[in-house]
Amino acid sequence: MVVEDAQTGWCGAVVAVEKAGGMRVVHLEDRRGVVKAFPLGPGFLLDGAPVLLTPPTAAAREALARQQAAGARTASGSRAVSGASARVATASRLFVEGRHDAELVEKVWGDDLRVEGVVVEMLDGVDDLAAVIRDFAPTARRRMGVLVDHLVPGTKESRIVAAAQRVSPEHVLIVGHPYVDVWQSVRPERLGMDSWPVIERGRSWKHGVLAHLGWPAATQADVAAGWKRILGSVRTYADLQPELLGRVEELIDFVTAPTVPSAPAADESP
């Protein structure tokens, strides 16, 4: 539930109840992901009405566990499949540009992809995308989905994709998001920003973003650490921009679609 502390006006979702300093406290997480603790008891508002927050009982915990199991969702919002093990990998694949893209897809869609048996592979850029498609040799049973960064009209990426798509138009789907880097697909509110900063030309975009956030930004190790903090702020699909969500869902649908049997040749028996 989402409650408001009447004294301070702090509004947030209840995420934990625990004992601290000899008293029970409730932790409330606001819309920016910041968590604060308040003494459990009176002094809270629920939908504008005063309420008394009490510790959960064993019976309430069991009822909640049953309710959560019945309506459990994966990070992508799909209904969770209880007790399912990962399928043997299918021949179809999802390709993304780099490690950060792969880690973000794994965090949000990993459970779904394991149930479907779909593996995510890294391209390390798209300059040789046409060659990668030829090497992969896609077929109706071996489909290839590709997610491209900064795919907007008039860019180098758009020209590369147009040429690469012609290699296998039926068995390859190439889509992209408009962001300079997959970092931008994370909602800025999760990092305490109203919007992602504009970084001047000639400066490393990632280093510029880290400096804007006030985080270490001198080395590649700083970039890696910064990305871990950004990725750590992502809990579910709701923390990502719709421009990325729609494209990844489109790719998953493409590579997991049932294969339609080919029609028999004229000289084959029915």
User: What is the SS3 assignment for 40?
Assistant: coil
pLDDT tens digit at each of 270 positions of the chain? 899 999 999 999 998 898 877 889 999 998 888 899 999 999 999 888 899 999 888 787 777 666 666 666 777 666 666 555 556 778 999 999 999 999 999 999 998 898 889 999 999 889 999 999 999 999 999 999 999 999 999 999 999 999 999 999 999 999 999 999 999 999 999 999 999 999 998 899 999 999 999 999 999 999 999 999 999 999 999 999 999 999 999 999 999 988 655 444 445 444
Residue pair 63/56 in contact by the 8 Å Cβ criterion: no
Among 3.40.50, 2.40.10, 3.30.450, 3.10.620, what is the CATH number of 93-186+234-256?
3.40.50
Residue pair 2/11 in contact by the 8 Å Cβ criterion: yes
What tokens does 165 get?
């798509």
- How many other CB atoms sit within 10 Å of the CB of residue 203? 10
Residue pair 27/37 in contact by the 8 Å Cβ criterion: yes
Task: List the end-to-end C-alpha distance of the chain, in Å, as a whole number.
Answer: 61
